[in-house]
Amino acid sequence: MSARIATVSRDTNETQIKVSVNLDGEGHLNCETGVPFLDHMLDQVARHGMIDLDIHATGDLHIDDHHTVEDLGITLGQAFNEAIGDKRGIYRYGHAYVPLDEALSRVVIDFSGRPGLYMNVEFTRDIIGRLDTQLFWEFFQGFVNHARVTLHIDNIKGFNAHHQAETIFKAFGRALRMAVAEDPRMAGQMPSTKGSL
**Nearest distance from C-beta of residue 164 to Mn ion, angstroms:** 11
138 or 166: CB nearest Mn ion: 166
Residue nearest to Mn ion (CB): 166
Only one of the segments 63-71, 143-151, 161-169, 187-195 lies at the binding site for Mn ion (rule: CB under 5 A); that segment is 161-169
Nearest to 97 by CA among 148, 56, 48: 48
6 or 69: CB nearest Mn ion: 69
Number of amino acids touching Mn ion (CB under 5 A): 1
Pairwise CA distance, residues 108 & 27, whole Å: 20
146 or 163: CB nearest Mn ion: 163
**Nearest distance from C-beta of residue 166 to Mn ion, angstroms:** 5
126 or 183: CB nearest Mn ion: 126
- Cβ burial of 179 (10 Å; 0-12, 13-18, 19+) is buried
The residues near 154 (Cβ < 8 Å, ≥ 6 apart) are 105, 106, 107, 120, 121
Strand residue runs (E) in 4-149: 5-11, 15-22, 29-32, 52-59, 93-100, 103-110, 116-120, 127-128, 131-132
**Nearest distance from C-beta of residue 40 to Mn ion, angstroms:** 6
Pairwise CA distance, residues 101 & 176, whole Å: 22
6 or 53: CB nearest Mn ion: 53
Q: Tell me, residue by residue from 101 to 140, as one string, x for binding to Mn ion by CB under 5 A and - for no binding.
A: ----------------------------------------
Of residues 162-181, those binding Mn ion (CB under 5 A): 166
Strand residue runs (E) in the chain: 5-11, 15-22, 29-32, 52-59, 93-100, 103-110, 116-120, 127-128, 131-132, 150-157
5 or 100: CB nearest Mn ion: 100
Only one of the segments 59-67, 114-122, 140-148, 159-167 lies at the binding site for Mn ion (rule: CB under 5 A); that segment is 159-167
Query: Which positions touch Mn ion (CB under 5 A)?
Result: 166
